[in-house]
Amino acid sequence: MPVPPRLRGYRYVGVIGKGSTAYVFRYRQEATERDVAIKVGTTHLDSKAGARFKTEAVFMAKLQHPNILTVHGAGVTDDGRPYTIFEYAPNGSVKDIIAKQGVYSVEKTLDYGVQLASALYLAHRSNTVHRDLKTSNILITAQGLPAIADFGIATNIYDHRSTGYSPPWAPPEVIASHGGGDDRSDIYSLAATLYAMLAGKSPFEYAYDPHTIDELVDCILHKPAPPINRADVPQSLQRVLLKALDPDPAHRYFTALEFARALQEVQIQLYGHATPVNVQGIEPYPTRAAMATAGAQGALPAAPEAKPRNRKPLIITAIVVAVLVVFGVVFAQFILPNIDHSGDARTATVVNPGMNGSPGNDDGDDDDDAMTSVPAPIELSGKYVNNNTEVKFTWSNPDPQDGDRYAWSLVSNSGDGDQANAKLVDEPTVTVPATDGGPTCIKVSILRQDRQLSSDAVTACAAK
């Protein structure tokens, strides 16, 4: 082990850990009596190692978020070794905790997932890709928060040079092309990290037990990510993770924010509440429609009772009544009040309400981030066509830009948007099969060329 450097204003305490290119030491900042972690390079500032440390300091210092490890400073030691001063995370990494305590609960995994996806969205919005998300790079701070560490191989979101990603967490497009990946690659790696919190291992190590790196890489390239074999992991969460782990980047969530929203909706379905998204200019919770749906679902029992005897007819009746009640309440409170029926009763338009029932874009907020956020589509409406067997929806883009596309998904009669099956179109129109026995609803967002998504989708329904 190299001798810990002498740094003015800091007192050496001990060793935290080591990696392939650096040691991490614990120091005490004498002026504040605050413990910090100082990452010191193992070499004497050759160009590559020096560039890595400078990159880490630049990227992390500008990314201010509770779930990104804070950078306090950087420099070069007297003997030429680069160093970076970080917030000290006394509770170790997610990898350490899995090794010591076993897998995480579903509730904790969802909570961490929303927080980390929020931080990742902030990084991506700043055109920064992490490129090495994994359990060992998620540290637990003194406040008990998960924080993304080690932006040393992070880079601009449009820089596709080969760098970063550890094989168990790397998406197939990075392994296949040896490219640097993009924001969708980070979403994949975050999903693999959350998967490991529930399964104890990365997805392909868990499922296929490869014995070599070559076997692992072959699994990632040619085999599907399997569901987690845990009875308490709900299918809704399995679907969210497997979508984020889709081998085709185009089929994953469009942004880390959309990934966070999907995790929030699972939380609300299971527990009746959600971890807020913490990004300036972004609503902390999903739209009122999603909240209403998930809240209704969350009010139902989370698990079946002990085996009943001779109660099958009663159970079937109770289920039917419960479904009808949930549908009726949500339809009356969400869909019906917002439908503007036309004279021929074949078209309808719904203005997407905000969390407080007001239009989502009419809050008068002049915050810089809000001013630069992607707007929602406007004038979204649906009309029955082809003998009422289909509904054609059209909308307008209030701020069209080169490369704009539109992400849309069907909304069920209960108001639940099927985010796991969201699709992209290039033009502001889509035709869908008409829903039997109720209104046909969709929600739409604008997707910019830089992969920023409308902070809130707009919803519309057509009713006969």
Binding residues for ATP: 39
In whole angstroms, what separates CA 174 from the centre of its chain?
19
Measure the CA–CA gap between 361 and 194, rounded to whole angstroms.
33
For residue 175, is it left (φ>0), alpha (ψ between -120 and 50) or beta?
alpha
Helix H or strand E encompassing 51: helix 47-62
Measure the CA–CA gap between 173 and 139, rounded to whole angstroms.
27
Q: Which amino acid is at 85?
A: I
CB neighbours of 402 closer than 8 A, spacing ≥ 6?
A: 449
Measure the CA–CA gap between 432 and 389, rounded to whole angstroms.
9
User: How many Cβ atoms from other residues are within 10 Å of residue 186's Cβ?
Assistant: 29
Alpha-carbon dihedral angle through residues 234, 237, 243, 246, given to the nearest 10 degrees: -70
Bridge partners, 37 (sequence order) = 26, 86
Alpha-helical segments (H) within 163-234: 172-177, 183-199, 203-208, 213-222
Measure the CA–CA gap between 138 and 196, rounded to whole angstroms.
12
Residue ranges at the known binding site:
39
Residue 75: name the closest of 49, 57, 61 by CA: 57
* Length of the chain in terms of residues written: 464
Angle at 110 between CA 105 and CA 111, to 5 degrees: 100
Longest alpha-carbon distance in the chain? 82
**Tokens representing residue 363 in the block:** 């809050």
Q: Which residue is listed with tokens 């990898």?
A: 95
